[in-house]
Amino acid sequence: MRPFDYDLFVIGAGSGGVRASRMAAAMGVRVAVAEDRHIGGTCVNVGCVPKKLFVYASQFAEEFEQAAGYGWQLANAEFDWATLRDNKNAEIERLNGIYRNLLANSGCELIEGHATIKGPHTVSVAGRDYSTERILIATGGWPFVPDIPGHEHAISSNEVFYLEQFPKRAIVVGGGYIAVEFAGIFAGLGATTKLVYRGELFLRGFDAEVRRFAAEEIGKKGVSLAFNSDISAIEKLPDGTLKVTFNDGSSELTDCVLYATGRVPKVAGLGLENTRIRQQANGAILVDQQFQTDEPSIYAIGDVIDRMQLTPVALAEGMQLVKRLYGEAGPAVDYQLIPTAVFSQPNIATVGLTEVQARAQYGEVEVYKSNFRAMKQTLAGGQERTFMKLLVDKASDRVVGVHMVGPDAGEIIQGIAIALKAGATKQVFDATIGIHPTAAEEFVTMREPSN
């Protein structure tokens, strides 16, 4: 008789948890998965997937405007929020079902309810205790909303996907991916939109030129940018309007305040106090390079360990852990050269080092840049510009950073990330024949450094 009910008990059925569970079950491991909200986690339900659908929706207004230059005569287009929201909901429900079937078909047992760790080998869900040889925490993150007067009148990324009515006026607070993306979504769908950020410039951590260029282009799209600003209070008026007071004493009225000021690890009620697990100041679970906590039987992956809050990273961590525990140990997760994209308008994508980082690491760096108006904008009469940047270590000729602001940047940089991962040099880029006419060919036709 086996000493435990399960070999592996996974807490959290998000991207990382589901991938780890399925892989382990395929290896003959007895796996249970506990989830207290939605199957698929943040990415599927209130993150990457619905956000990208909303981004698509928000781009149509500009497409309709530009169509006239290409000979299309369109009647006045109207946007219906309920149709978008409900169609999105149906798609998310479909994906929830797929994830549920994936777990069931792989042999995992899904236990719905909030899981609490009672000890190194015990998890409790809905009053029932389950014994397990190992525990994997993959609970992800949770939106952070600061405790200011009237904060209860604001919404987070959890609620924005389910609004009953689309706001005519919206204020988005924050300077990261989610804030910049939703500012574009609100503006594209027709709301008068302001982005408020307490710092000098949003997207901290990105290349400085990328940040400045993106701010200029996003401003052209109708988003009012308020840097070095913050909200001190929110008041709900009798008619439902929100009166927002800023830290400089000024105020304005709006219909919606969305806080996108970061996410914190979702650890509340997990029972970590019943273990030897240590945490960072923000609640993130401390793990070693094998994702093992200070409690040897308990592991953690994904946003809850706060290394890189990206879905593909959680997937990679889950796969690497399961291979090491139950199969042949593969290479450790490589956190270098991870491409990333901000699905703002225009799109921002990057892989590798910023210019500051490259100069600090390599010393002499060659910088290649291109700033142009894409072909599509010509007949359409649009003024949007595209920016591209290559960073090259002069000593080795290796390309160490690539950045782009412009349409389809995420799609383009994904392919370039493979080249950087393979160690491509500037000579390799130069020797590559471009696809003409495309914006992407610019990356293989930059000949003269700008520095």
Domain assignments of the chain as residue spans, ordered by start? 6-142+264-326, 151-260, 340-444
Helix (H, G, I), strand (E, B) or coil at 399: strand
The 3-state DSSP class for residue 194 equals strand
Q: Are 192 and 166 in contact (CB under 8 A)?
A: no
Q: How many CA atoms lie within 13 A of 34 on its CB side?
A: 24
Residue 239 three-state SS:
coil
Give the pLDDT score at 87. Answer: 98
CA nearest neighbour of 270 among 133, 110, 138? 138
DSSP state letters, 338-386: --EEE--SS-EEEEE--HHHHHHHHSSEEEEEEEE--THHHHHT----E
As its CATH architecture, domain 151-260 has 3-Layer(bba) Sandwich (3.50)
Instruction: Compute the distance between CA of residue 415 and CA of residue 396 in angstroms, rounded to an integer.
Output: 22
Q: Is 2 exposed, middle or buried (0-12, 13-18, 19+ CB in 10 A)?
A: exposed
Nearest to 199 by CA among 233, 176, 235, 229: 229
Both tokens assigned to 211? 């940040």
Q: How far is CA 64 from the centre of its chain?
A: 28
Backbone phi, psi, residue 112, to 5°? -90, 125
Q: At what angle do helices 81-106 and 15-26 cross, to 10 degrees?
A: 20
Number of helices (H), then strands (E), belonging to the chain: the values are 11, 21
Cα(426)–Cα(1) distance, integer angstroms = 61
**What is the side-by-side order of every strand in the sheet holding 256-259?**
223-226, 192-196, 169-173, 256-259
Q: Say which amino acid occupies 337.
A: L
Class of domain 340-444: alpha beta
pLDDT of the residue at 373: 95
What is the rounded distance in angstroms from the CA atom of residue 193 to the CA atom of residue 15?
Answer: 32
C-beta atoms surrounding 288 within 10 Å: 9
Q: Which CATH architecture has domain 6-142+264-326?
A: 3-Layer(bba) Sandwich (3.50)
For the question of residue 403 being annotated catalytic, the response is no
Of 114, 121, 153, 436, which is the active-site residue?
436
End-to-end CA distance of the chain: 70
Residue of 237, 252, 60, 80 lying closest to 171 (CA atoms): 252
Does the fold of domain 340-444 match that of domain 151-260? no
Contact 118/130 with Cβ under 8 angstroms? no
Please report the pLDDT score of residue 1 as a whole number.
Answer: 58
Cβ–Cβ under 8 Å, residues 389 and 226: no
The model's pTM is 0.96
Q: Residues 44, 18: contact at Cβ < 8 Å? A: no
User: Which regions in the chain score pLDDT beneath 70?
Assistant: 1
Establish whether the linkage from the previous residue to 143 is cis, with ω within 30° of 0: no
Q: What is the pLDDT of residue 415?
A: 97
- Measured CA to CA, the distance from residue 405 to residue 270 in angstroms comes to 40
Judge contact between 15 and 92, C-beta under 8 A.
Answer: no
